[in-house]
Amino acid sequence: MKHKIILLAIAAFAALEVSAARPRLVVNIVVGSMRAEDLSRYADNYGEGGLRRLIDGGTVFADSRYDYQQTTTPVSLATLSTGAMPSTHGVIGSRWRDYVANEAVELIAGRNGAGPYNLIAPTLSEALLQHEPGSKAVTVAAEATSAIVLGGRGGEVFWLDSARCGWTTSPYYAADVPEWVARSNRERYNLSYIAPEWRTLYEKGRYVNSRNWDVILTGKNKKEKDETGSGRLKLTTDFDRMLYTPAGNTAVFGFAKQAIAQFKLGTDGTPDLLNICLDSSRRISEAYGPESVEAEDMYYRLDRDLADFLTFVFAQVKNGEVLVVFTSDHGTSPSYDAGREEADRFNARQFEVIVNGFLNVRYGMGNWVLEYEDKCLYLNHNLIYERGLNLADVQNEVAIFAMQFRGVSHALSATAMRTSYFGSGYARKMQNSFYPRRSGDVIMNLMPGWIEENDRCASSSGSMYGYDTQVPLVFYGFGAGPLRVKRRVDMTAVAPTVARVLEITEPAASEGEVLPEIIDF
């Protein structure tokens, strides 16, 4: 009998050892449009429990980059969730042209509402649920596209409903939201995050940036007047007031905490996954620019929200067996109006008209250009074939013509992408973004600092330049000690590294290299 008790004790101890070999919960936090330099630029005003906690206690990869041109939110979220380049995972933007059906395709559009219908490569959530049927995967974001691309076809996926600012999902994932979510929606709980006015968290003397538009700069004392910016956005709906202010990030973190408690994430020996995307950060950076007080104040408030969230999650999960991965989907360009002179911007609609006129002169009148979307120009294949023209020749002519436009730095034809291998330089980054079944006939890149005209955007992403491609990457908690890694790291490494930590098969299309600093810790 004594021997049996000893054997049972040994078995129980061994089981505990096995469960401790991997984290109970992995939390992926993706901050929209956060540059790598933002970790240090505002560090003097960060508190101890948020970003500073990650920087001082985690493994910081100081030179982590996306190695492709199309650094936009859906594209890079797909890279983070699949571990693959756009040329493999197939997400080239939120919209493209289907030549067979001769119609535009929306990434998350479906007959029964939004869903992952057009996603090709499996995500980390899918890999976890397939390998560990008892695991749970939850994804939370302010925007539907972000939530769906991060979560893929796996687990619970939630985003903000633009009509009422409540949390919603789609029939693809569930017939309805859980009762605890429905109750929160009925009470309009998210509206409590929206402040009557946006005032800076600190007095104005502590801010690094000086340009303010809609945020109110708080004076140091009663004698010093508060300063109101000149105004940039008119936020007419609750959803806009949520998305274009720090309230959006606060709401996402608040819902993420509820999800941890309600779904009991990290409470047993089977690992769980929580994906969080903070879209408000991107919206604020785009609207006001990275040089603005609005962007800076947003980071200080995010820092506080993060501190509160980290305290909660490490207290909630047994023994603090949590791995937090903190990163961004891309950086952002300098504001076009931040310099001494307002920078030129690229007018995409004008470009379409002029290219169509060029082809009218060359080959006769017709609707030659179907659409320009995310640096891709789509030509009318049916018309080209009807006129007896060679598609590759027309593509090449348009690419050469496009190079004459101010602001265009590179233009390559789809035929060149398909038939050539570019091992280095700008062409390699463009090729890494090229997916033959979805990309346009001519793929372009703009000159450094140039962005496309958009009334709501002072800054934007989607280039191969460092301000877009270099992002923060920090692993904190389980399996990650205080370390600063200076070597260059490709962002395709995130998903396979997390998969290795979880001891599951990597997502099927993953092509990134596992980070030894995390695996061998």
Mention every residue, 6+ apart, whose C-beta is less than 8 A from residue 234: none
Give me the half-sphere count of Cα atoms (radius 13 Å) on the Cβ side of residue 80: 33
DSSP β-ladder status, 369-373 and 483-490: unpaired
> How many residues are recorded in the chain?
521
d(CA 353, CA 498): 46
Tell me if 151 sits within 8 A of 123, measured CB to CB: yes
Nearest to 359, CA basis, from 442, 425, 291: 442
Spatial distance between the Cα atoms of 18 and 269, rounded to a whole number of angstroms: 9
- The 3-state DSSP class for residue 376 equals strand
Q: Which of 59, 71, 72, 73 is catalytic?
A: 73
**DSSP string for residues in 417-474:** HHH----SHHHHHHHHT--TTTS-SEEEEEPTT--B--TT-SS---SSSHHHHEE-EE
Our CA angle for 181, 148, 189, nearest 5°, is 25
**What is the spatial distance between Cα 88 and Cα 428, in angstroms, rounded to a whole number?**
14
Mode of pairing for the β-strands spanning 408-413 and 442-446: antiparallel
Residue pair 213/229 in contact by the 8 Å Cβ criterion: yes
Q: Residues 169, 274, 462, CA angle at the centre, nearest 5°? A: 80
Q: How far apart are CA 378 and CA 439, in angstroms?
A: 8
73 is catalytic: yes
Spatial separation of the C-alpha atoms in residues 367 and 357, rounded to whole Å: 9
Is residue 253 classed as helix, strand or coil in its secondary structure? helix
Of 249, 241, 141, the closest CA to residue 198 belongs to: 241
Identify the bridge partners of residue 29 per DSSP, sorted by sequence position.
276, 326
DSSP-derived secondary structure letter, 192: G
Residue among 422, 421, 426 nearest 410 (CA): 426
The residue to which tokens 């990309």 are assigned: 439
Cα dihedral across residues 76, 298, 212, 216: positive or negative:
positive
Q: How many Å apart are CA 51 and CA 286, to the nearest integer?
A: 22
- Distances, alpha carbon 332 to alpha carbons 97, 336, 470, in Å: 26, 11, 10
Q: What's the gap between Cα 153 and its chain centre?
A: 17
What is d(CA 147, CA 151) in angstroms, rounded to the nearest whole number? 6
By annotation, the residues acting in catalysis are 73
